[in-house]
Amino acid sequence: MREVYRKRVGTLLEALPYIREFSGKTVVIKYGGAAMNSADLKEEFATDIVLLRYIGIKPIIVHGGGAEVSGLMKKLDLPVKFVDGLRVTDAATMDVARMVLVGKINKEIVSLINRFGTRAVGLGGDDGMLLIAEKLVKRSADGSLLDLGQVGEVTQVNTALLEMLEADYVPVVASVGTGTLGESFNINADTVAAAIGGALAAEKLIFLTDVPGLLVDVEDENSLVSECTAVELEAMVEEGQVSRGMIPKVEAVLAGLDQGVKAAHIIDGRVPHAVLLEILTAAGVGTKVLPSPVGVSGRVGKGRSRG
């Protein structure tokens, strides 16, 4: 019986150094994929966020909701069109995106976190001028300009607003922004998370995905890269070791690190309590990417040295 007690206490004690290290720090979490679609995973994610708040960590959640936007557009008989993974957004599409992201998904996340024991507040990127954006300039393979409509990229983050809110609340941010003339923009949620993480110099930038992390061979889960540096990750992309579908996540990881995030993580959101496991245990549940020290490069690692 004593051994059972030791194991229970050991599980708690494993988290102690990470609680000590990250208490008071900001963690930006891009919430998406299966973790948003399963009722059980939704509740487990919410309890993870509540526990992080209780131990002094300050989470900020960024979410998209592309599947639900597409679903409502089809019901409304509106065309759904993507170019290079980005939704072509005309005025009608923008209205639907705001309705789904700000009016539905954001409220559901806030309500769930509130129900499990801490206070969350929902925001669109245009609330309080939180996310200032401009039209995204995108070119085709032949160099010609692509018109994606009201698709934007973040140019400025209202860090004062987020810092004020995160002192007492969990900010939950929908991935829409506003231009300097008041126009609305649909923005990729990965890039929003990276922009917020960089602007706040967040301790961690975490992306929940539907894969185990970065795999050298997408057919082999044993090829998981548990830890690497930004320069090693860039080399993997150049060598074709990163799947096409993972490229947008990788670009967001690199952007966040370049802008000042201390560490970025691509984790398996299908794993129950994935956020807690990644932050508070040695093994983690995905890939951790660190900034590259100047002049340092090397091979990607299978071992894990957390911090």
Residue tagged 């995973």 (tokens): 41
Q: Find the catalytic residue in 48, 126, 190, 268.
A: 190
Cβ density class 84-123: b for 16+ within 10 Å, e for less: eebbbbeeebbebbbebbbeebbeebbebbbebebebbbb
Question: CA-to-CA distance for 141 and 84, rounded, in angstroms?
Answer: 10
Phi, psi torsion values for 190, nearest 5 degrees: -60, -45
Question: CA-to-CA distance for 165 and 169, rounded, in angstroms?
Answer: 6
30 among known catalytic residues: yes
Q: Find the catalytic residue in 249, 256, 268, 286.
A: 249
Please classify residue 142 by burial: count the beta carbons closer than 10 Å to its beta carbon, then call 0-12 exposed, 13-18 middle and 19+ buried. exposed
Q: Find the catalytic residue in 30, 204, 262, 288.
A: 30
Question: CA-to-CA distance for 66 and 273, rounded, in angstroms?
Answer: 23
66 among known catalytic residues: yes
**Chain center to CA of 88:** 22
307 among known catalytic residues: no
Token representation of residue 54: 């209780």
Cβ density class 39-77: b for 16+ within 10 Å, e for less: eebbebbbbbbbbbbeeebbbbbbbbbbebbbebbeeee
210 among known catalytic residues: no
Alpha helices, DSSP H, located in the chain: 2-22, 39-54, 66-75, 91-100, 106-115, 159-166, 189-199, 230-238, 247-258, 274-280
Q: Find the catalytic residue in 65, 66, 122, 152.
A: 66
Q: State the amino acid at position 101 in one-letter form.
A: L
Alpha helices, DSSP H, located in 23-144: 39-54, 66-75, 91-100, 106-115
Question: CA-to-CA distance for 147 and 107, rounded, in angstroms?
Answer: 31
56 among known catalytic residues: no
Q: Find the catalytic residue in 33, 65, 256, 269.
A: 33
Catalytic residues: 30, 33, 66, 190, 249
